[in-house]
Amino acid sequence: MNDAQRREAFIERLQQLEGLNNPLYLQLQRVLDTSQTRFGYDVDGKLRIALFDAQSYDLESFERWNEGRFAIQPFRTSLDADSVAMAGGFRVICVFVNDRLDQQVVDRLARSGVELIALRCAGYNNVDLNACQRHGIQVVRVPAYSPHAVAEHTIALMLMLNRHLHRAYTRVRAGSFHLDGLTGFDMYGKTMGIVGTGQIGRCVAEILLGFGCHVLAFDKHVDSELAARAHVEYVPLDDLFSQADIISLHVPLFPATRYLINAATIRKMKRGVMLINTSRGALVDTRALTAGLKSGQIGSAGLDVYEEEAGVFFHDLSSEVLTDDVLARLLTFNNVVVTSHQAYLTREALDNIARTTLENVLEFERGKRGKELTHGVLPD
């Protein structure tokens, strides 16, 4: 699609919107008025980027690293079928983990003239890569922004659950200083199961080795350096499930890993096991997890992700009724800690995300495509 065709499609979209007072119409009209030279660029010749699901901390890091190179337009809303029209007038959009780019959305992005989807995260399970390839839309990601940030949050969840810090904090705030029900266990000498030993999983393992733990690891690709460490052993997944006192998940979400933790695998685990998930929500069948918590098979759970988190995480719902019955039930357990997908949220990680994303966009603007893109993502 050339610039003339993009402008024609853009104008057609304008005409479809009802009423001159429609806020979206006015926004798109302003884009058209200020983009008379090249589609997707502002009047100063800067490539425009639509930043969806943009939070204040995102904007701070992107503004710091952008240095005026691109014209960044933030949108607080997530990208989905209802908001995709907001991508009109942009050749580049930047999205996060809970934006939904299925075939319908990708088709509409293509008709709007979008040529690059810049993921500011490592995972890309929320993008229909085949649809992108059909339309010639490039996809890039940030493969590693701070494995230490996620690993340290993982350990924080373990310690909070083990020593009941969440319960102790609320007790003391309410003036109750008794210790009944707050007994934990020594981490030293315990057996830890690490599912996935990529950069994050390896960081978790190294921290746990510092605690004096024995680490059972599982991954399709064995990390030879980690395997050579004392007190580290690569084992089959079933052995890890049956022997580990704490299990921590660090694998991407693919069809093969969806519901990796389910009713059958939970039955294989040690009774009273602690489960930690800071990777992707749909690795865990939440209903099976709830049943495991009720029966006592699962002793505690720390979750930074949830399979239906889109529309909930990153939003303030404190004045609303939580309509997700599964999540609401999960939050009633005093042996469960849920954080709102914040494991990555450190200054270092945010800077790495912004810097790498903008470098990805710069490569695209300079003409790189497909395998030429350093962090490009292609269908399998």
Q: From CA 40, how far away is CA 263, in angstroms rounded?
A: 49
Q: Which residues have a Cβ under 8 Å from the Cβ of 56 and sit 6 or more positions away?
A: none
Query: Is residue 173 exposed (0-12), middle (13-18) or buried (19+ Cβ within 10 Å)?
Result: exposed
Total count of residues recorded for the chain: 380
Residues with active-site annotation: 280, 309, 341
Q: In degrees rounded to 5, what are phi and psi of residue 356?
A: -65, -40
What token pair was written down for 242? 């049956």
Single-letter amino acid, residue 320: E
CA dihedral 313, 318, 322, 324 (to 10 degrees): 10
Q: From CA 101, how far away is CA 332, in angstroms rounded?
A: 32
Q: From CA 227, how far away is CA 289, in angstroms rounded?
A: 30
| 141 contacts 122 by C-beta, under 8 angstroms | yes
CA distances to 126, 143, 262, 345 from 97, rounded to whole Å, are 7, 13, 23, 13
Q: From CA 194, how far away is CA 241, in angstroms rounded?
A: 10
Q: From CA 145, how far away is CA 352, in angstroms rounded?
A: 5
**Long-range contacts: 190-193, Cβ < 8 Å, 24+?**
190/214, 190/245, 190/246, 191/215, 191/216, 191/243, 191/244, 191/245, 191/246, 192/216, 192/244, 192/245, 192/246, 192/247, 192/248, 193/217, 193/218, 193/240, 193/241, 193/243, 193/244, 193/246, 193/247, 193/248
Local structure of 183: helix, strand or coil = coil
**DSSP per-residue codes, 58-83:** HHHHHHHHHTTSSEEEE-SSPPSTTT
| 70 contacts 361 by C-beta, under 8 angstroms | yes
Alpha carbon 319 to its chain centroid, in Å, reads 25
